[in-house]
Structure 1
Amino acid sequence: MTPDAPERTGLWLIGARGSVATTTITGRAALAAGLFPSTGLVTALPPFADCALPALDSLVIGGHDTATTPLPKRAEQLVENGVLPHGLPTAVSAELAAADAEIKVPGDRLADDIADFTRRHGLARTVVVNVASTETDPSISTAYATAAIEAGCPYVNFTPATGMRAPGLAERARAAGLPFAGRDGKTGQTLLRTALAPMFAQRALQVRSWSGANLLGGGDGATLADPAAAAAKNAGKARVLTDILGETPEGTTHIDNVPALGDWKTAWDHVAFDGFLGTRMVLQTIWQGCDSALAAPLILDLTRITARAHAAGMAGELPGCSWFFKDPDAGPADLAGQHAELLALAESFRTRP
């Protein structure tokens, strides 16, 4: 990098050949080339203007994965599943190939892989983001969080895995001057819950029960067919309601694996509540969407925000990032309160070098 060249930022993805990562990598290239508008990218909105966030075309991508299907082929598979537009993988084939060449099979030297990537590309910093499928062994996500600290990298946990919440890791990150954010990205059903639950509390409407169901396929559907993995996912969904309503309503949430749905998901909620004079009423919602397309812009947002926080000397749990997560490290539970903190974080960037 020449003295006059802008700083470049690394994005190291755990699960780098999965659907979310592939959509993120393809989308970054498409937006950087001006092929598509920045729909879904929060950091492209006016409140984040003049915040000195790293530009999308300055991101260099690598990662870890045990999967062997190359990114160009994975992107074509996502085209077949209706996730990515036809022709886009071909248009950004060079970027996909470059990222694929930087994906390593995880071994015993996770931190060395990340540090070497940062050094070889002359990067100002690298943000490590976990987008791997939910695992039932907490030592795996803990190993990646530890590697991020050892490599001197900010860390984002977009999964419900343990990550930085393992004993002692958060303290180590703070001591090393590293910001982190997590956990479990909020892309669909829980996003609706954090928006709707405050309405009942603010209108003094008594929620009697809140039940839900998720039908999904793809890698997440297969992984969440495991009861332990599903329990970790549902814990965050239930905690949101308890935190906002002040009590836990009756009802359960089910996650069902439907392989035919591929990368698409249907989430249904049934809310029974009491109104004036005990009148019983019901609200039902249906959310149909593609988790990969919902998550990918948030990965880019979190990478840009976390990198900027690191450059500004911020360390520890990032204020304002609760907006992105089902089970955030810190911050309010309701969507409006979380958004206010996010805007405050953006404003603080303008006052920092």
Structure 2
Amino acid sequence: MRPRVGVWLFGARGSVATTTVAGAAALAHGAPPAGVVTAQPAFAGAGLAPIESLVFGGHDVIDTPLAKQVERLIAGGVLPAGLNALITAELAAAERNLVVLPVAATQAEAIRRMAEDLRAFRLRNDLDHVVAINVASTEPPAEVGFTELPELRAALDAGTPLPASCAAALAAFEAGASFIDFTPSTSIRPPVIREWAVERGLPFGGQDAKTGETLVKTVLAPMFTARSLPVHAWSGTNLLGGGDGATLADPRAAESKNVSKERGLSDLLGPDVAGQVHIDYVDPLGDWKTAWDHVLFSGFLGVRMTLQFTWQGCDSALAAPLVLDLARLSALALQRGHVGSMPFLGFYFKDPVDSTEHSLTVQYDELVKWVQAC
């Protein structure tokens, strides 16, 4: 008998989370699973929780009803027209499990109350496992100046604040949930936060899902290496609208994103490749994004050549099936008793935890190997 799995989303009323909940409901009504990697034959028989059985809940800072968010996404072309009428019951079920982030005097109290929300979600829905996934807005880079758990606990009790993403991770661990960071925020980067997870015997993974430009890069860059074609420069421009674009219009938040976007290329091609990644906010684009890349390389006898590509897509629609994959895979890790980082999930991320492998095909092979290990 497959376990009942809950998916707790931090940022549960945002575009990615809403598309995930609506998409899971649409799949249960017979929609094709485009973009859902775990629907491939290679993952059959692994004991993954069926998508239609996933139970959704989460935290957010706003209380806009999911149904209203779905209407907005339909109007923007992100979700198909008429879907809202088909999935009314599923949206209502998820709505009952959504909670506004608690306001507390100290962050230690906020973490405790968030953990209580996750435990209540698990009990109310009779769940065997809960997977927490951070799909909230990207935070600016932050340092956590603690290296030992007692020091961190004492600082929290004394009122020293942590980045919100770190608090979310700790709340998940306190509630016995695994944690995945879909963003490049601080969350599980500090070793002391990871140590908290290990102490609780829980898995964690991330970070910063690759859904567009970086996804293409991690396919093309190994091609140049395999064909012995030196790459001299690789520059990219990203145009984003919607909430993600508005967040990344802040240079501090964009710094977190740019670091993770550039890391893979550096690891694949070396540090001497010139060029940068730029992110520009274009509000009228809404939930859609466009990326344009220019690659300068040389061929036989030093002949200079270029490759250019344009990627245009809907970020939420690209992200949602990955959230479903990660929920199913993280639940499988919990079921198998996996403790600590999950580098085998690197296939999904720009900056994979505890892995320096960025080639998409190699990452896919590593993921399938882990899934089929049992």
Considering the TM-score relative to the shorter chain, is it more than 0.5? yes
Match of 1:118 in 2: 122
In the alignment, structure 1 residue 25 sits paired with structure 2 residue 50: no
In the alignment, structure 1 residue 78 sits paired with structure 2 residue 82: no
| Residues 160 and 184, structure 1, Cα contact 8 Å, conserved in 2 | yes
| Residues 7 and 58, structure 1, Cα contact 8 Å, conserved in 2 | no
- TM-score normalised over the length of structure 1: 0.95
Alignment partners' CA distance in 2, 1:173 and 1:251: 37
In the alignment, structure 1 residue 46 sits paired with structure 2 residue 7: no
| Residues 238 and 248, structure 1, Cα contact 8 Å, conserved in 2 | no
In the alignment, structure 1 residue 157 sits paired with structure 2 residue 157: no
Shift of 1:145: 0.5
| Residues 129 and 155, structure 1, Cα contact 8 Å, conserved in 2 | yes
Alignment partners' CA distance in 2, 1:300 and 1:336: 20
Partner amino acid for 1:83?
V
Partner amino acid for 1:130?
N
Partner amino acid for 2:58?
G
- TM-score normalised over the length of structure 2: 0.90
1:1-353 equivalence runs, <5 A: 7-34=3-30, 36-107=31-102, 108=110, 109-136=113-140, 138=142, 139-331=163-355, 332-348=357-373, 351=374
Shift of 1:174: 1.9
Alignment partners' CA distance in 1, 2:267 and 2:141: 27
1:137–1:242 CA distance, 2 compared to 1 (3 A): closer
1:133–1:48 CA distance, 2 compared to 1 (3 A): same
Query: Which deviations, in whole Å up to 9, do the C-alpha atoms of 1:49-87 show, x marking residues without a partner?
Result: 000001112211110001221100100100000000001
**The 10-residue stretch of structure 1 (296-305 or 101-110) with the greater mean CA deviation from structure 2:** 101-110
Alignment partners' CA distance in 2, 1:175 and 1:143: 16
Shift of 1:305: 0.3
| Residues 241 and 248, structure 1, Cα contact 8 Å, conserved in 2 | no
Alignment partners' CA distance in 1, 2:138 and 2:196: 24
| Residues 275 and 281, structure 1, Cα contact 8 Å, conserved in 2 | yes
Partner amino acid for 1:344?
K
**The 10-residue stretch of structure 1 (331-340 or 153-162) with the greater mean CA deviation from structure 2:** 331-340
SS in 2 for 1:168: helix
Instruction: For structure 2, list consecutive stretches of 5 or more residues without a partner in the other structure.
Output: 103-109, 143-162
Partner amino acid for 1:273?
F
Shift of 1:166: 2.3
| Residues 139 and 256, structure 2, Cα contact 8 Å, conserved in 1 | no
**The 10-residue stretch of structure 1 (108-117 or 258-267) with the greater mean CA deviation from structure 2:** 108-117
1:182–1:248 CA distance, 2 compared to 1 (3 A): farther
Alignment partners' CA distance in 2, 1:286 and 1:174: 42
Shift of 1:276: 1.1
Alignment partners' CA distance in 1, 2:3 and 2:365: 29
Alignment partners' CA distance in 1, 2:229 and 2:222: 10
1:346–1:167 CA distance, 2 compared to 1 (3 A): closer
Partner amino acid for 2:13?
R
Shift of 1:301: 0.2
Alignment partners' CA distance in 2, 1:303 and 1:110: 19
Alignment partners' CA distance in 2, 1:17 and 1:267: 26
Partner amino acid for 1:89?
N
**The 10-residue stretch of structure 1 (244-253 or 10-19) with the greater mean CA deviation from structure 2:** 244-253
Query: Which deviations, in whole Å up to 9, do the C-alpha atoms of 1:65-123 show, x marking residues without a partner?
Result: 01221100100100000000001011001111111121111122111111111111110
Instruction: For structure 1, list consecutive stretches of 5 or more residues without a partner in the other structure.
Output: none
Shift of 1:167: 3.7
Tell me the number of residue pairs that the alignment of Structure 1 and Structure 2 aligns.
344
Query: Which deviations, in whole Å up to 9, do the C-alpha atoms of 1:23-67 show, x marking residues without a partner?
Result: 000000111222x11111000000000000011122111100012
Alignment partners' CA distance in 1, 2:114 and 2:303: 58
Instruction: Give the superposed CA RMSD.
Output: 1.2
1:137–1:248 CA distance, 2 compared to 1 (3 A): closer
| Residues 347 and 363, structure 2, Cα contact 8 Å, conserved in 1 | yes
List 4+ stretches of structure 1 deviating above 4 A.
Answer: none
Alignment partners' CA distance in 2, 1:116 and 1:225: 37
Match of 2:105 in 1: none
Alignment partners' CA distance in 1, 2:214 and 2:134: 19
| Residues 141 and 255, structure 2, Cα contact 8 Å, conserved in 1 | no
Partner amino acid for 1:74?
Q
Match of 2:149 in 1: none
Shift of 1:203: 1.2
